[in-house]
Structure 1
Amino acid sequence: MDIRSYIDNSILKPYVSESEVEKFVRDSARVGFYAVCVNPYHVKLAKEVGTDRIKVCSVVGFPLGLNTKEVKVHEAVRAVEDGADEIDMVMNISAFKEKRYRYVEEELKAVKRECGVPLKVIIETCYLDQNEKVKAVEICVQAGVDFVKTSTGFGSGGATVEDVKLIKEIGGNRIKVKAAGGIKDLATAIAMIKAGADRLGTSSGFEIYKEAQGG
């Protein structure tokens, strides 16, 4: 297993400088991670620094998911115009909790249709009960998005092996799984992959890779 091929190495804290982002992207490309994940403001910089050596992922409606549908669509389209190869969007958890499932699904479809790149939908599992997790995955499948992502990393909890297994069980081969939130070491990363994760979101990519190398 090449752990690098699973990792979206993330730098999403609000206080990072452009020089920190530049170094992060350069080092991530050098290591060979699948992608770097940055805030929309840093997409252009990440694309310039990474060129074609690493994919650039950007977040939309992050981290709360409560932007309007139109704003999320605009944000996603702008990120792609700036160079984003993939989009990680937070589901409207409030609308979902209100059982406004049609609204949630239409929002996902609109962003997917307009951005034209792989779309990962963050359902923020820490705020959902078991039945809600199942329903959220079903909506993502119906909307035709590419991944269900567990967490933003800014919520009250992150990815768990149990949630990854559940998403994989419900989604089957119809949708991929990205585990994110609290993945800080190699053992946790491997556990998530064995549970069914196709991709890992982590800000600890360098540490995980170093551990995998025996360092």
Structure 2
Amino acid sequence: MDRDEFAASIDHTVLGPETTWDDVETVLTEAVEHGMNACIPPCYVAEAADYSNAPEAIATVVGFPHGQHAAETKRDEAVAAWDDGADEVDLVINVGRLKAGEDDAVAAEVSDVVAAVPIPVKVIIETALLTDAEKHRACEAAVAADADMVKTATGFADGGAAVSDVELMSEYLPVKASGGVGSYEEAMAMFEAGAERIGASSGVALVEGFPE
């Protein structure tokens, strides 16, 4: 993996509750300058898509951050994001339903979103809240729903990406490792474990840490 390939595998992210358009504009500019993608709140997607200096890919989130929206609301969110110009969506599963054993409901909800938009859907399973058995079931639901990727975390629960989780998840689908990845070395550990994408608010530091 060369520097350009490394950078193109990073989703430079800003998703905090106080995020302003100025924050998003900064992330978009940094993403372009460093060859990264951007992951931003849904309320700014239309502006970002029309921005004169937009990155190659703009991702946004659906059902964020807790995944407890009604299934119809998640589907409508995804469609609105696509209409606004999003290139990818990161969808949070309903962890409570998974823990209750309602795996079919989880898969159906994801499937509705996948069917509603013609863009990649990454399924956030929130690994810090799951047992290994539940992680397997969450990934199985994502596969059953024909999702494109599985993603470790929102960054809003305790804990984030772990090498062991990436290894487990990569048995099922391509993995986006997100949550607490703050350095080039940490990012490479995720890639070596099987990740194909990294989500990080510290995207600039990751790329600038790439060895010369």
Q: Is the 8 A contact 1:9 1:202 kept in 2?
A: yes
Instruction: Trace 1:18-97 onto structure 2 (pairs within 5 A).
Output: 18-33=21-36, 35-49=37-51, 53-97=55-99
Paired with 1:51 and 1:145, the residues of 2 have a C-alpha distance of 29
Corresponding residue for residue 201 of structure 1: 199
C-alpha distance in 2, partners of 1:24/1:53? Answer: 10
For residues 165-208 of structure 1, the C-alpha deviation after alignment (integer angstroms, 9 at most, x for no partner) is: 01113x1xxx2111000000011000000000010000000011
Q: Does 1:178 align with 2:176?
A: yes
Q: Judge conservation of contact 1:109–1:143 (CA < 8 Å) in 2.
A: yes
> Which of 157, 160, 164 is the matching residue for 1:158?
160
TM superposition shift of 1:52:
6.2
Match of 2:125 in 1: 123
- The equivalent of 1:110 in structure 2 is 112
Instruction: Tell me the CA shift for residue 50 of structure 1.
Output: 5.7
Structure 2 counterpart SS, 1:57? strand
Moved more, 95-104 or 61-70: 95-104
Which letter maps to 2:93? M
SS in 2 for 1:116: coil
Q: Runs of at least 4 residues of structure 1 off by over 2 A?
A: 50-53
Match of 1:5 in 2: 8
Secondary structure, aligned partner of 1:206 = helix
1:16 maps to which of 10, 15, 19: 19
TM-score by length of 1: 0.94
The aligned amino acid for 1:148 is: V
Tell me what 1:211 maps to: 209
Tell me, yes or no, if the aligned pair for 1:22 and 1:45 is still in contact at 8 Å: no
The whole-number CA distance in structure 2 between the counterparts of 1:67 and 1:50 is: 33
Residues 125, 151 of structure 1: 8 Å contact kept: yes
Where 1:198 maps in the other structure, the secondary structure is: strand
Unmatched 5+ stretches in structure 2: none
Q: CA deviation at 1:49?
A: 1.9
Q: How many residues align?
A: 209
Deviation (angstroms), 1:45: 1.7
CA drift of 1:51 comes to 6.0
Cα distance in 2, alignment partners of residues 51 and 66 from structure 1: 34
CA contact (8 A) 2:177 2:190 kept: yes
- How far apart in 1 are the matches of 2:110 and 2:145? 6
CA RMSD of aligned residues (A): 1.3
SS, match of residue 82 in structure 2:
helix
Inter-partner Cα distance in structure 2 for 1:104 and 1:20: 33
C-alpha deviation, 1:213, in angstroms: 5.1
Instruction: Work out the CA distance in 2 between the residues paired with 1:99 and 1:50.
Output: 46
Amino acid at match of 2:174: K
What TM-score, normalized by structure 2, do the two folds share?
A: 0.95
Q: Which residue pairs with 1:141 in the alignment?
A: 143
Tell me which amino acid in the other structure corresponds to 1:201.
Answer: G
Task: Verify the 8 A CA contact 1:89 1:119 in the aligned structure 2.
Answer: yes
